[in-house]
Structures are given as structure tokens and as C-alpha cells.
């Protein structure tokens, strides 16, 4: 088996940094051209430049996934740039409103923004792209959820709930799109050292956390906390990376995965086995 995405076109929301950037690079590495969709113009340009350096084409589209009109504009721009959309990766996500890590419990603004971006954003962009994929009777939709969807937690219940909803939406949308030969799957990443997780570590150190069972972790800082946490809760004892998520996304985006749909697959070193 050899993953081949040559001349496929992928739209990746949240592609400016973190997991999204890893996914963009992985898809481009297998031959795809990429539309980097993000509100972070500087980060999106950096991702696009890295893709262009590999010899693949890259376009940039500013998008607010919480807005249906903006999602529709993204699809229209992608079609204008490349003429088709073969792959859609919904990665755009947040964990709270501004300075969420400074609050011991999520605020109303945290709940509203997380649900608007993490859930409705996935729905908005997916539904905007669906007519094109239905017409072509071809498409791969990949939603980035989280192992937080697998089990509730006391620390960030709003985020956990939003990611559980993404898994449920993935299953529902897979049933809607199956008659058109469009695959819809989700990936549930584990523990990655990304800007989002840096904030989570800071919050955990400040207020305590159920992330780690060892209270001594709270005496550590930043990256050291993260490394000790990984060692204590990940059976394989190693962190996950954006590249790890990108490799699974590339497989799910390929025709080798033509008979896989409605699934949520963990990439977490064995932390959640369901």
C-alpha cells in the first residue's frame, strides 16, 4: 500500500499552526495541493510557504468558520483557485475565549466560542463543501476531534463536550454522505505540545488538574510538566505530534481508505482504547 494524493486538492481549516500545519504538510508530502484556511494570515502564509517549498501548490483563504457565509466563501475561493475539492479537513478549534487559562471554570463566553468554532465550524464548512462533493460523487472529509471526546473531565468540560459532539456529527454526516461515495471520519489526537496545550498546562499548574494523577506535576513548569504528564498517562510513554495526526489524515484522505467511514480513530499512544 502506498498513499498517493497526487493532484488532489485539500482544504484544511486551522492550517496556520499546530495540528493543522502538520496535516497540511503531510497531505502535500503525498502530492496534494493545499488551501490553507485560517484567520491567522501570517501563520497561514508560513504554512503555504512550506508547502510551496515541496513543489506543491498552496493557496490561502481567510475564514471565520463560525459564519456560514464565510464558510461558503471558503469553498467558492477553493474552487476558484483549484477547480475542485477532493479533501476537507476540519481542524480549526479553540479551547476557550481570551485568557481562558486564567479561569478555574469556563465562562459563558468560553462555552459559546468553543461550541461555535469546534462544533458549528465543522458543520458550517462541511455543509458548504457537501454539494460539490455530492455532485462529483467523490470526497474525503476528516474532522479533528480529540481523546477528550472519549471521556468527560472536570477541567475543560466545555471543550470535552464540543469534541464529543464532533464525533457524533461525524457519524451523522457519514450516513448523509455515504450514498454519494463520500467518506467522513474523525481523528482523536492525544497529547501534543501545541500552543493550545501550552495554555492548558499553564491552567493546570495554576488551578490543579485531573490531567495527571501525580500532584507533584504541579510543581513543574511548562514543557517539563508536559513531558512528565506524557510519561505518567500515555502507555507508550511518548508524546504525539502534528506529523502523527497528519499521517493518519493522509491515509484517510486516500483511496486506500475508500471503505472506512463514520469512524473516530485515536492517535494517542494507547491512552484511550475505544
Report the catalytic residues: 159
CA atoms within 13 A of residue 19's CA, in its CB half-sphere: 29
Q: What is the spatial distance between Cα 249 and Cα 13, in angstroms, rounded to a whole number?
A: 13
Sheet holding 58-61, edge to edge: 58-61, 33-37, 9-13, 87-90, 139-144, 182-189, 264-267
Q: Which residues of 91-109 are buried (b: 16+ CB within 10 A; e: fewer)?
A: bbbbbbbeebbeeeebeee
Q: From residue 196, how far is each of 18, 38, 45, 93, 145 by CA, in Å?
A: 8, 15, 20, 9, 14
Cell of 182: 463520500
For residues 146, 151, 154, 155, the Cα torsion angle rounded to the nearest 10 degrees is -10
Q: What is the spatial distance between Cα 227 and Cα 235, in angstroms, rounded to a whole number?
A: 13
Give the DSSP H/E element, type plus range, for residue 232. Answer: helix 222-233
Amino acid at each position: 500500500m502506498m498513499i498517493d494524493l497526487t493532484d488532489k486538492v485539500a482544504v484544511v481549516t486551522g492550517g496556520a499552526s499546530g495540528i493543522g500545519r502538520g496535516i497540511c504538510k503531510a497531505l502535500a508530502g503525498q502530492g496534494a495541493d493545499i488551501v490553507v484556511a485560517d484567520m491567522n494570515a501570517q501563520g497561514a502564509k508560513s504554512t503555504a510557504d512550506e508547502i510551496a517549498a515541496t513543489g506543491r501548490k498552496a493557496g490561502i483563504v481567510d475564514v471565520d468558520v463560525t459564519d456560514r457565509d464565510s464558510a461558503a466563501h471558503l469553498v467558492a475561493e477553493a474552487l476558484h483557485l483549484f477547480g475542485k475539492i477532493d479533501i476537507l479537513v476540519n481542524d480549526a478549534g479553540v479551547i476557550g475565549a481570551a485568557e481562558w487559562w486564567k479561569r478555574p471554570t469556563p465562562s459563558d463566553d468560553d462555552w459559546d466560542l468553543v461550541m461555535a468554532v469546534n462544533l458549528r465550524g465543522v458543520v458550517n464548512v462541511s455543509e458548504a463543501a457537501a454539494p460539490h462533493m455530492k455532485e462529483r460523487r467523490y470526497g474525503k472529509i476528516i474532522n479533528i476531534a480529540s481523546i477528550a471526546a472519549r471521556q468527560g473531565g472536570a477541567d475543560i468540560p466545555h471543550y470535552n463536550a464540543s469534541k464529543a459532539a464532533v464525533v457524533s456529527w461525524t457519524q451523522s454526516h457519514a450516513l448523509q454522505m455515504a450514498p454519494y461515495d463520500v467518506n467522513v471520519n474523525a481523528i482523536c489526537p492525544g497529547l501534543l505540545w501545541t500552543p493550545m496545550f501550552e495554555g492548558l498546562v499553564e491552567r493546570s499548574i495554576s488551578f490543579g488538574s485531573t490531567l495527571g494523577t501525580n500532584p507533584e506535576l504541579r510543581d513543574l513548569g511548562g514543557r517539563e510538566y508536559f513531558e512528565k504528564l506524557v510519561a505518567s498517562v500515555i502507555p507508550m510513554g511518548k508524546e504525539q505530534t502534528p506529523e502523527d495526526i497528519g499521517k493518519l489524515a493522509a491515509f484517510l484522505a486516500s483511496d486506500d481508505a475508500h471503505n472506512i467511514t463514520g469512524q473516530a480513530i485515536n492517535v494517542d499512544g494507547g491512552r484511550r482504547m475505544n
